[in-house]
A and B are shown apart, each in its own frame.
Chain A
Amino acid sequence: MTSILTNLFDGVAYGMLLFVLACGLAVTLGLMNFVNLAHGAFAMAGGYVCMVLVNRMGWPFFAALPLAFVSAAAIGIVLERLLYRHLYARSHLDQVLFTIGLTFMSVAAVDYIQGSSRVFINLPAALQGQFDLFGVGIGRYRLMIIVICGLLTIGLQMVLAKTRFGSRLRAAVDDPRAASGLGINVPQVFAFTFAFGCGLAGLGGALSAEILGLDPYFPLKFMIYFLIVVTVGGSSSITGPFLASLLLGIGDVAGKYYVPKMGPFVIYTMMIVILIWRPNGLFGRTAAR
């Protein structure tokens, strides 16, 4: 019984992590209709920034996390202004080719600067180990991930649904021409949204170093997971990817625990079944575009 709860806990933590990593992609793909396969590169950038700050400059881990967000967002905004915005109107194939090229460049760049070995971020002692809660083993680090990611999700949902910026963004997505006719600065809204999505990825990258491992191949290794989250969740809201992340996280952990021989297939089987049942994802709009 307790091992079921421990697995559930691990699954939720893993799912939350996937969500933070992938939700930026859901935003660019779903809201801006841009296929950004280089999303993982921003996550990696955040992770490496955090590693350098903590391990080499002696920053406390919690001070470095916001910096991981900020730096990934900054890189995001620079690239958006310089490169990405020229591709918004291009075909999806062009976008895929461009961003996959960018991914390979990021891999080579990080390999060149930091070397190809896997790196770790030194964690404060308070985040290490596990404690028992009514017999259920709770990993401290994973608990922190759940708290941070949970708060982020609530915050994001509030911003999108309740604030002026949220309604502008939704207007800009639904009909860019009408929105700009109403005085909304559409390119600015997109740039900001893009940067925010990159920042979230950066934060996710910093958080995931401990669990998923961080090396220059991060963007390629986890691209598939991000895409699964977005396709299964549907990309029209952030609730979809959120629930999809949780489902996949719990499914993956439970699958590997209970049927270790089949473990790696569980996540893909779930994806196939869900997509046969709902081709546009759990919360997809039918044939939106």
Chain B
Amino acid sequence: MFERKQFSTIAAVAAIAGLAAVAPAKAEDTVKVGLILPMTGGQASTGKQIENAIKLYMQQKGDTVAGKKIEIILKDDAAIPDKTKTAAQELIVNDKVNFIAGFGVTPAALAAAPLATQAKIPEVVMAAGTSIITERSPYIVRTSFTLAQSSTIIADWAVKNGIKKVATLTSDYAPGNDALNFFKQNFTAGGGEVVEEVKTPLANPDFAPFLQRMKDAKPDAIFVFVPAGQGGNFMKQYAERGLDKAGIKVIGPGDVTDDDLLNNMGDAVLGTVTAHLYSAAHPSQMNKDFVAAYKKAYGTRPGFMAVSGYDGIHLIYEALKKTGGDTDGTKLIEAMKGQKWESPRGPISIDPETRDIVQNIYIRKVEKVDGELYNVEFATFEAVKDLGKTKK
């Protein structure tokens, strides 16, 4: 299904590194970005999407900005925080990188945070979605999303659209708990009732008993958050158990209908309503071009992880433009604050206060478009900040 294409990058990176070594006079003109991603392990699809998107961006915009050559050094942490830390240390001490970026899961982003503070270099978080991350270092900036953003929005939408009783099914780890708590808070404040609350273990083989419990609770909808990858299994078993026929809808943050897997989930997923930052079916011209270029290069559809990586490298480019190529970490992070741009997902900006992303959250419904399953956007909540922080 997916060809392994990262070897070519590694080869390219190695070649660039080789060139730099041959011509030491040029080293001054190179900006190094240490990219730490899960390229193996259960989260590998996240890593691959981000890497693909960054390569695509650099092909489109060139690898030189403000007179500096951008060099990407990729390290695989397999989403294990200890490895993230080691990789970040190596990149900062040995390779003397000017940025660290990537971070597939929350614990990985947190593990690198003290190093970013110490080394005074920007840490660009391109995937991990727990609210607290950007509070752990003044050098952290995020281009992905927070779970609070999508979970509160879907709660507000559900209340307004006649969903009164909801059963929740969330994975039992930090992002799952974030999703659950923010959803519950807005949903109950709006007059909704959570009739059943189930936390599934992260390594969960079979959803059957949990789904049976959901079915017997007879809610109007199930609020679901499971990590990317488990969404397909969940949706299949949801249909197998006949919950769709019992009139129980699925709502949630868009992770469950990630574009990366959506098309393989089967028609059971039709009609699922989610709130999320990005859909490959987003109707802007910029997104159409982005999707077409990504498909052409990698043969698959970009998901929200790809777009987060694409925006992450864009932010690095823009920061360097603003500093005129100055690689002082503090100046770079200052340059990133308040940046605003048009992304394939829509208009986004970096909150100057929290260094977290401000973006539109779209309500989407899974529909068939040209024989393929897509999240089709039908309502927009504009410029949503991370509510996980604004409360404090």
Contact = CB atoms under 8 A, between A and B. Distances in A.
A210 B236 contact: yes
B1 A117 contact: yes
Interface residues on B, range: 35 or more
Contact of A213 (B201, B205, B264): B205
B229 A129 contact: no
A61 interface: no
A137 interface: yes
A208 B57 CA distance: 39
A141 interface: yes
Contacts of A212: 205-206
Given A112-B4, A213-B233, A254 B209 contact: yes
Instruction: Name the residue among B44, B209, B239 with the largest chain A CB count within 10 angstroms.
Output: B209
A128 B48 CA distance: 32
A261 to B, nearest CB: 7
B1 A119 contact: yes
Contact of A137 (B44, B203, B242): B242
Given A117-B2, A129-B240, A256 B42 contact: no
Given A112-B4, A221-B203, A256 B210 contact: yes
Given A114-B1, A118-B229, A260 B239 contact: no
A203 B382 CA distance: 50
Interface residues of A, number: 40
Nearest to B229: A118
A217 interface: yes
Interface in A247-281: 252-257, 260-261, 263-264
Contact of B240 (A114, A141, A225, A254): A141
Contacts of A117: 1-2, 45, 229, 260-261
B247 interface: no
B40 A260 contact: no
B83 interface: no
B380 interface: no
A3 interface: yes
Interface in A103-129: 108, 111-112, 114-120, 128-129
A203 B242 CA distance: 26
B242 A129 contact: yes
A118 B209 contact: no
B261 to A, nearest CB: 7
Nearest to B197: A260
Contacts of A129: 239-240, 242
B209 A10 contact: yes
Contact of A211 (B45, B48, B203, B208): B208
B48 to A, nearest CB: 8
B240 A128 contact: yes
B85 to A, nearest CB: 23
Contact of B212 (A6, A116, A222, A255): A6
B209 A111 contact: no
Given A10-B209, A137-B242, A139-B241, A215 B42 contact: yes
B283 interface: no
Interface string A50-89: 0000000000000000000000000000000000000000
A7 B209 contact: yes
Contacts of A226: none
Contacts of A188: none
Nearest to B204: A264
B230 interface: yes
B213 interface: yes
A116 B40 contact: yes
A42 interface: no
A185 interface: no
Contacts of A157: none
A14 interface: yes
A217 B242 contact: no
Given A217-B41, A263-B201, A264-B204, 15 more contacts: A3-B216, A111-B44, A118-B229, A118-B230, A118-B261, A119-B264, A120-B232, A120-B236, A128-B239, A130-B241, A141-B240, A210-B236, A211-B208, A221-B203, A257-B213
Interface of A: 3, 6-7, 10, 14, 108, 111-112, 114-120, 128-130, 137, 139, 141, 210-213, 215, 217, 221-222, 225, 252-257, 260-261, 263-264
28 contacts: A6-B212, A7-B209, A10-B212, A14-B206, A14-B208, A111-B40, A114-B1, A116-B45, A117-B1, A117-B2, A117-B45, A117-B229, A117-B261, A119-B1, A120-B266, A128-B239, A137-B241, A211-B205, A221-B203, A221-B205, A252-B206, A252-B209, A255-B209, A256-B213, A260-B199, A260-B210, A263-B201, A264-B204
